[in-house]
Every structure is written in structure tokens, then in C-alpha cells.
Chain A
Amino acid sequence: MEDFSYQKPKTVDDAREAYSASADGLFLAGGQTILPVMKLGLAAPSAVIDLGGIEGLRAILVTDSVVSIGAMATHATVAASGDVRQAIPALSDLAGMIGDPQVRTRGTIGGSIANNDPAADYPAAVLALNATITTDKRQIAADDFFVAMFETALEEGEIITNVEFPVADAAAYAKFANPASRFALAGVFVARTGNSVRVAVTGAGTCVFRVADMEAALAKDFSATALDGITVATENLNTDIHASAEYRGHLIGVMAKRAVEAAQTKGGGK
């Protein structure tokens, strides 16, 4: 790994400034993505700006209608938070399925969505729950946030401060894990709020995406059988040594049904 200067600012403003002042700066959150990348020489920043010293970025606030998670909240805290579990159990479940206990100790929601790995879990929750991403500059709707593989709406040096999830009436996440890496081979997050249903798929395409046909069918009839016969076009799905696009397409159908069933039985929030 190339050496770099290391800074640990105490405020978001200082972090932004440190970033602007650096030639090739990089924010560090839990490091569970970026450090392996740097170790393999695939990123070599001149300055690393650790967001771990900023007060308040780890906060989790839960009200009747919103679960607000600070960007630096770790997967382990979200998985263990009683408040989150009560409001959106699917979200705690999802956080508990990310990686392994050690990764969950350090990895953060901000890092996960900023990175936008096509096989990451959180983007599915953010998109299906119609969350709002707050940064140091603005608020971004989930639908606008995930742009492409490893690409988001974040601008240079923009810092995610928290993510607000509206509490859904019912939600669940079903993940089929890659047997080697344990990232999602196909993961489907289903959320129903009133008559509106959102279905987000991760792991299968180059970027998390919604499935309009499934959402429409589920809005009419929120049951697994409502999804019978609905297929996802495979042209845009990934093929790699672990799974073909065709298989991923099939898994989306199976996981979507399982998520709906789970949402019906235990996915209720309030």
C-alpha cells in the first residue's frame, strides 16, 4: 500500500475542507471496502480523511414514522438496535446478513451506499424503503442516488451524513448469497406502505434496481402468488462464474416471493 497523510477531522465541515485541500483525498468510514481495495493497490489516495472522529454521525434516531441512521452507524449497531428492529425489522435483519461479525463491527451504512457495490445489501433497503440520503449539501431521494455500478449521485467530496427510512407497513429482505464471497447473488427487498409497494433488487444487475411489474402486481394483491408469471428481463443482468443472467433472473422471482411471504408473517413495523 502506498503511504498517505491521515486526518481525523471532528466536524463535517473540517472533513470537507480537508478533502478540498488534498490532491487526491479519500473518505474513510469502516474501511471494510476501501482498505482491501487499497491493499491490492487498486486505490492509492494521497490523503485519507477518517470520518470516524465526527460527532453525531453514528446516531440512530427512531420515531413513529422515520428511522434515521447516521452514516457512520455500523452494520452491527443497526442489527442490534432494538428501536430499529421494532420499527423496520427487515432493516435490522439485512444489517445482520452483511458479511461476517468482524465486517459488521466496522462497516457502515454510509460507506456501503457510497460505494454502491452491485452486490451490496443496503442499497436494496434504501431503494425499496424509499429512503432519503442526507449529505453535507443536500437531500437525495433513493431513486436518484444509485446511478451505476460503483457510482452514485454524490459529487466530489460530498459527505453522506445520514439516511432516513420511512417506516413501512410491511417489509422483508430475502438474500441468496454467493457461496464464496457471501455477497448477494440476488437479493430482493420488498416494502409495502399503504397501497404502495416497492421492490428493489441487488446482486443481479450492475446496480440496484426496482421491478415495476412486481410492484404493480403486489400493489393490487400483496401475496407471493401475485408474482406468478412475472419475469425480469435478463439482458441487463450479470453473468459471471457464480451465476448466469438467466439464473439470476430466476432467483429474483424466487427471492421476491420469499420476501413477500416473510413480510406478511413478520415484516410488519408499527
Chain B
Amino acid sequence: MTDVHIGDAVRRVEDQRFLTGQGNYIDDINMAGQARAAVLRSPHGHARINGIDTSRAEALDGVLLVITGRQWLAFGMGTLPTKTGVRKGRNDTDINEPPRHCMAIDTARYLGEPVAFVVAETQVIANNALELIDVDFEPLEAVSDAVKALAPGAPRLWDDIPNNLCIDFELGDLEGTEKAFAEADHVITLDLENNRVTAVPIETRGCVGSYDAATETYTLYNATQNVHANRDMFAENVLGIDKQKLHHVAPDVGGGFGAKNSAYPEPPMVLYAAKKLGRPVKWINTRSDSFLGDTHGRGQTSRVQIAINNDGTFLALRTETVGGIGAYCWTIGPFTPTGGSARTQGGPYTFPAMYYRGRAVFTNTAPMDPYRGAGRPEATFQTERIIEYACRKLGLDPVETRRKNLMPPEALPYMSPMGMDIDCGDFPLLFERTLEMAAPDTFAARADRATKAGRLFGFAIAPYLECTGGAPKEYAGVQFKEDGAVTLAVGSHSTGMGHETVLPQLLAARLGIDFDRIQFTQADTDATPIGGGHGGSRGMEVGGNAVAQAADEIIVKATPLAAHLLQSDAAKVTFADGSFSDATSGASVSMTEVIEASMDQEPGFLDTGATFERGVISIPNGCHAATVEVDPDTGAIQITGYWVMDDFGTVINPLLADGQVMGGIVQGIGQALTENIIYDDSGQLITGSLMDYGLPRADVVPNMVIDYYEGAPTKKNPLGVKGAGEAGCVGALPAVVNAVLDALKGHGVVHMDMPLTPEKVWRAIRDKGAHDPEALMRDAC
């Protein structure tokens, strides 16, 4: 029997198959008789499609099917609607939501937008057929930059949408903020950019679809993060079928980080073709096409302003953001630059007044949808950058100033001006501990050593405040089998985070049963009636609590049987540490024994399906700190130290939590230093391959020291967990960028936009920090 507890660093069960090459990813799935698909994508950022001639492609031996946008429309296929939570803008205006079809209809609005779909006997034939499709494109003027897209006279993506504006959103207290701005000793303004990036999970997307004519049921294996929600979209919105007629399963998924969250256009085309051809159809994306058609993230231009007094007291924060969301409203695309980036403005500091305005803007670029953090990294970056900048401008000490303004624990619970219910935590404690870990007393010596080697030493600390998100409901189903196996099916979804280990760990610990007996299922629309998939750091917060709730219900059901076995009375029997006991008689019986005994009851006696619904989202928080060394001759940056204290509430498995934090930090480091999605003015992607898009590699990332504060479990959910999946990304951007700027302070450098390429650093030094703080948003505010 394997005993596991909450808080144990249980090693993962899924590792065995991944380490030996036995994982079952989408490209490993092959169905008898399958045909292969390929997608013709727009080579233009914006172009009218005057006609498509598919005859040469259709004539190619082995080509089975060619579909164009016009045909797709004629089949009666529906559109993919947005599920954004923000639908109302300022002055009660409605969101502009143009129709999003799976294929471009008459106009292609971004490079890589599907224009035609081919199915053939082999991949080679399908790919060759793409080259035989003659499309009469008439290139149109494009606009890829969101600020430019808002300007009067900018090319329009949609005839009926003025200024390319999807939604103009606001939150907070404008009047209070303006008043504080009028009264403060200083108002400091900084325009900054949160560069556009993309998730690049190492496995590209792909799917295999089939259709069973006898039952009129489709089956879709899909590298997705979200089987239930996307099933509903594909079935009900696009194909116009009952959702019961689509069985949607995700096999092992090779990373997602948000980029496999959305309802993408290819799976419905695959399903249509599978039915039409009466044989399974497989489509696997290439990396090159992933850069064009996978969702991107961040990509915001903002003006951030702080009202601050001479003594460093913060009075108010105001942020105006413009975010390009691509040509359509994707699954939650319009949410990120609006509500998603508003909520955690101000971080863990006391800001008596705050105001946020975010405009989501249509651009001729790939779609924007969640990327790890979706709004919180942006908000934290904006907050921490304006604080650091203000300190530099006013000669205030950045550590002291932050310390002074952190919300004290006595102030909690606190409803932030952005509507966040900040219930618990100890921000000053985490701040001090992080600082201690970084050992500031060694900085002078480290700076000295760096100087001797011709480098500049820098340090920054960045507290962060997070919030969870994603679908609020989750289901966990537990069944007990005759042979002793216990099955656990959960609707949340791991694309690498380790649910297959940690959720059984939780169930085993809660029930006191053998961990090895639990068989785990996820990401299958037949296995759970509902499922919220993956996103918003919800796995443990919602999925974990569903498992805990199922365990608690099982205990309740088992108690009368235990009492019977103990020849006692249910009211007298208590459950603890895996056993039911009767305090009066001292007798006890284990859960395992009760489960065995339950096999003599009616079938499924203890089987339980529990649905947990989150009330209020929880508030993970913590603090990052980094040291860097900069080579002033070349501008090269090396991160030399990295420390984190996180408050995720109760930590169920610290090993897995570490993994989430490290992975998130390195994605943040990537964005801060090397990753950048760049489009030119015609909507061509300049950084569309791993030769130009710089993913972090092993030799550029530092060793990270991570610790947890578990003194403030949240009462918002029974497990007391706060969500761990995105926090690494949230804290890393300001920690790294501010540390580099600290290193350059002797050269007068006060600001640089990400990514901090060596050339930018070198130029900033050469130009002695010359910088226009209002350059980016002058035309947009």
C-alpha cells in the first residue's frame, strides 16, 4: 500500500510512459483507413479573395476533397462565437463581434487564415495539392499595430466597425483617481509595451476525426486543453448537431499554456471531411503554421500613471491599454486587454483609487487568446514598472517604497478598487522573506566582482498579486470496482501539470486509501458530464476541490456501513486518517475495509459524482526577486540569481508546484529577453520560426530558488488552495526587467521595452537613457 498525504512530493505516475516513449500524443494516433488533411493559409495579411479555382488540386491523383470558404458557408456551417466575460463597454456600448467562420469567406484578414482545406490519401499528396489551388487574391491595405488601427483613416478590417474597435472597456473609480491625481505631490507617466508573444508548446496542434454512420456520432481526438467547451462550440455552433453526437477526447497533450484552449477552425473541418468521406481524417499542424495560426498572447501598449507623494505614498493608479486581438473575437480574446488586465492592477499595494481603461482592437494579425496569465502578467508588469520608474524619477528607494505601500495583513479582507476580494495573505512577510533569500548584504560584494569583470550588477524585487480564472464548475467522479481498483474521472485537464498524480494523491490522502489503486481519466466528454478543462490556474482550485468534495461525500455514504461493521451507531462514528472509529468502544475499521464491504451492497453503493462550484476566485500572491549582470560592451544580459516566495494557500504537492513556478518563470524570462512576435505593416510575420523567435534554452536560465508560505490558506474553497499555474509568468517580467534597469542606472537608463535585446541595452547605454515616456500612446490617449 502506498501511503500518500497532502503536502507530499509524490513522484508522478505519468512519467513512466513519457520517459520510455510510450506517451500517446495526437500524432501517435492513427486510425485504420485514415486520410490526411492540409490547410491552405492566406499568404497575405489582408486580401480580398476574388475567386478560388480548385480544379487542378482536385485532379491530382489521391486528392479526396477540397473545400473553400464559400463552400463551407454553403454547407450551412455556423460561426464560432466568443465566450468573453466582458461584453459591455463604456457608456453601456456592446461588444462588436464580427462573424468568425472556420475559413476566410471572401476576405482573408490575417496571414495564415485558412482559405481552403484539402484531404488526400497521404500527407505528401495533400501538401502538393495546396500548391495547385489557384486563389485570386487582391491584397488590401493592412494594419497590424493596434494603436495605428485605432487612428482615424486606418485601414478597416470590417466595413461596419469604425476605428477597428471591438470594445472600449473601463473599470474602477475615475473620479477618485482624478481627484488623487490633482492632489498628489507627483504624477508620473510611462508608456510601455507588453510585447506580443506566442506559447509554442513543443507539440503542435492536431486532431484525428471519424464518423460512425450507424450511430451518427463523431469522434474527435484533439490536442486541446478543453474538450467539453470546444465540443459544444464545434457541435452546436459550427456543425449544428446535438453535442451528444460528438465524442471529444484529448490524448496526452504536449503542453498548452493557453494556445490549445481555443476553439480552432481545423477540427470542425476535419469532422466534416470524415463524415463526407466516410473515413477518418488526420490533421497535424506544422511548427511554421503554428506561428501563423496559433493564438498569440500579451501584445499590449499602455499608458500607466501613478499619483505619488514626496514620502513615497501611493495615492492612485491609472492605466490605459490598447490591445490588438487579431481579426476576430476568439474564444476569450477581447477579455484579456479589458477585464483580464484590469483586475489585478495595483498588485498587493494599497492604492486608494484606481482606474483602468482597455480597448480591444481588431488588427491583421493572428488571433489573440489566453497565454499563461492572460492579463495578470500585463497588470503586474504595468504596476511594477511604474513604481520602479517613479522611484527612479523621484530618487526614492525602490525596496523601501514598495515596503511602505504593501497592504498589511490587518487590512485584509479588502475589496480592491478593481473589485478583487483579497481575503488573506501576508504580503509584507513574503516580501521580507524573498529579500532575505536574495541576501542583500552580499550585493555590494557581488556588484564589486561584476565590476571587476567589466559587468554591471542589478537587482529587483517584484511582489505580485494574481487571481484565478477559467470555468467555475468542475466534476469529479469516483467508482469502486470489484477488483479493488478505484477510478477517478475529472473534468479539469492536465497538459503536463501532473493531474494524473496529484488528483489521485488528493483522493487517496483524503480517503486514506492506496494511491496505486486509483486509475485516472481526464479530458473525455464521455467520462465526465461536465468539464472545465485547463486554464486560469483552476486545476487544483476547482478540479482539486471537486475531488475533495467527492471524497467527503464518499465518507458520508460510507459512515453508516462503517457503523454497521463496528456494530455502532453512525452518529458515534468519526472518520480520520483513513479509518472510521467509535470513540466509546475504541474499535475502528479502515476505509479500505469499508470499501471491500460495500461490494456486498447494491452495485455502486459508494460511487460518487460530485460537482464543485467556485464562489469567488482566489488570490494567489507572492514575490519574485532577481539579480542580473549586464555586459555594457555588448548589451548581453545574464540572470545570475532568482528567488521566489509564493502563497498558493495549501500546497498539495510541492514538487509539482515547483515545476509550475519554474516553467512559468522561464516563459517570463523568454518574453522579457528574447521572445517577440513582430509583424510588418503589411501583416507579414517577421519572426515566424524558431530561427527568429527566441525561445529560452537551458544555458540562459538561472537556478531558481522557490519557497512557499502556507500560513494563509483561503477560506474561499475547502482545500484552501489558491492556484499555482500562472504565477511564475506573472512575477518574472517585472523582476527581470527592473533588475536590468537597476544595473543600468549608472548610465541613466530609466526604461526599455521588452524584449531587452542586447542591441536595445547597448543603445540605451550609448544614448545615456534618452527616452520619451509618452511616445507610444500619444496618439491613443
Interface stretch, picked from B261-269, B560-568, B757-765, is B757-765
* Main SS class of interface, A: loop
Complex Cα distance, B760 from A242, in Å, reads: 10
Encode contact with B along A229-248: 1 for CB under 8 Å, 0 otherwise: 00000000000011110010
In the complex, the answer to whether A180 meets B758 with C-beta atoms within 8 Å is no
- Kindly list chain A residues whose C-beta atoms are within 8 Å of the C-beta of B763: 247
B687 to chain A: closest residue by CB = A241
- Kindly list chain A residues whose C-beta atoms are within 8 Å of the C-beta of B692: 180-181, 241-242
B762 to chain A: closest residue by CB = A247
Which bucket holds chain B's interface residue count? 20 to 34
Complex Cα distance, B700 from A179, in Å, reads: 10
A16 at the interface (CB under 8 A from B): no
In the complex, the answer to whether B758 meets A179 with C-beta atoms within 8 Å is yes
A154 at the interface (CB under 8 A from B): no
- Kindly list chain B residues whose C-beta atoms are within 8 Å of the C-beta of A247: 758-759, 762-763
Known: A241-B678, A251-B634. A179 touches B759 (CB 8 A): no
Complex Cα distance, B758 from A67, in Å, reads: 36
Distance between A233 CB and nearest chain B CB, rounded to angstroms: 18
Within 8 A of A (CB), among B409-435: none
- Kindly list chain A residues whose C-beta atoms are within 8 Å of the C-beta of B636: 176
In the complex, the answer to whether A180 meets B694 with C-beta atoms within 8 Å is yes
- Kindly list chain A residues whose C-beta atoms are within 8 Å of the C-beta of B693: 180
Encode contact with B along A130-153: 1 for CB under 8 Å, 0 otherwise: 000000000000000000000000
In the complex, the answer to whether A180 meets B674 with C-beta atoms within 8 Å is yes
Total interface residues on A, using CB and 8 Å? 13
In the complex, the answer to whether B759 meets A254 with C-beta atoms within 8 Å is no
A8 at the interface (CB under 8 A from B): no
Known: A176-B634, A179-B673. A250 touches B690 (CB 8 A): no
B633: contacting residue among A40, A181, A241, A254, CB under 8 A: A254
B556 at the interface (CB under 8 A from A): no
B1 at the interface (CB under 8 A from A): no
B686 at the interface (CB under 8 A from A): yes
- Kindly list chain B residues whose C-beta atoms are within 8 Å of the C-beta of A179: 673-674, 694, 700, 757-758
B691 at the interface (CB under 8 A from A): yes
B694 to chain A: closest residue by CB = A180
Complex Cα distance, B678 from A181, in Å, reads: 16
In the complex, the answer to whether A181 meets B691 with C-beta atoms within 8 Å is yes
Complex Cα distance, B634 from A250, in Å, reads: 8
Complex Cα distance, B674 from A247, in Å, reads: 17
Counting chain B CB atoms within 10 Å of each CB, the highest count among A176, A247, A251 belongs to: A247
Complex Cα distance, B687 from A181, in Å, reads: 11
A243 to chain B: closest residue by CB = B759
- Kindly list chain B residues whose C-beta atoms are within 8 Å of the C-beta of A250: 762
In the complex, the answer to whether B633 meets A180 with C-beta atoms within 8 Å is no
Distance between B698 CB and nearest chain A CB, rounded to angstroms: 11
Complex Cα distance, B494 from A6, in Å, reads: 44
In the complex, the answer to whether B762 meets A180 with C-beta atoms within 8 Å is no
In the complex, the answer to whether B691 meets A244 with C-beta atoms within 8 Å is no
Known: A179-B674, A180-B693, A180-B694. A244 touches B633 (CB 8 A): no
Distance between B449 CB and nearest chain A CB, rounded to angstroms: 19
Complex Cα distance, B636 from A176, in Å, reads: 9
Complex Cα distance, B694 from A181, in Å, reads: 7
In the complex, the answer to whether A244 meets B759 with C-beta atoms within 8 Å is yes
B759 to chain A: closest residue by CB = A247
Within 8 A of A (CB), among B675-694: 676, 678, 686-687, 690-694
In the complex, the answer to whether B634 meets A242 with C-beta atoms within 8 Å is no
Distance between B752 CB and nearest chain A CB, rounded to angstroms: 14
A36 to chain B: closest residue by CB = B691
Complex Cα distance, B165 from A28, in Å, reads: 53
Within 8 A of A (CB), among B653-703: 673-674, 676, 678, 686-687, 690-695, 700
Complex Cα distance, B763 from A243, in Å, reads: 11
B697 to chain A: closest residue by CB = A182
- Kindly list chain B residues whose C-beta atoms are within 8 Å of the C-beta of A181: 690-692
Encode contact with B along A173-205: 1 for CB under 8 Å, 0 otherwise: 000100111000000000000000000000000
Distance between B180 CB and nearest chain A CB, rounded to angstroms: 41
- Kindly list chain A residues whose C-beta atoms are within 8 Å of the C-beta of B288: 40
Complex Cα distance, B634 from A242, in Å, reads: 13
Complex Cα distance, B692 from A176, in Å, reads: 16
Distance between A197 CB and nearest chain B CB, rounded to angstroms: 22
A181 to chain B: closest residue by CB = B691
List the 4 closest A-B pairs by CB distance, nearest first. Answer: A180-B694, A247-B759, A181-B691, A179-B694
**CB pairs A–B below 8 angstroms (28 shown):** A40-B288, A176-B634, A176-B636, A176-B758, A179-B673, A179-B674, A179-B758, A180-B674, A180-B687, A180-B690, A180-B691, A180-B692, A180-B693, A180-B695, A181-B691, A181-B692, A241-B676, A241-B692, A242-B692, A242-B759, A243-B758, A243-B759, A244-B759, A247-B758, A247-B759, A247-B763, A250-B762, A254-B633
Contacts A181-B690, A247-B758 aside, 17 further interface pairs with beta carbons under 8 A come to A179-B673, A179-B674, A179-B700, A180-B691, A180-B693, A181-B691, A181-B692, A241-B676, A241-B687, A241-B692, A242-B692, A242-B757, A243-B759, A247-B762, A247-B763, A250-B762, A254-B633
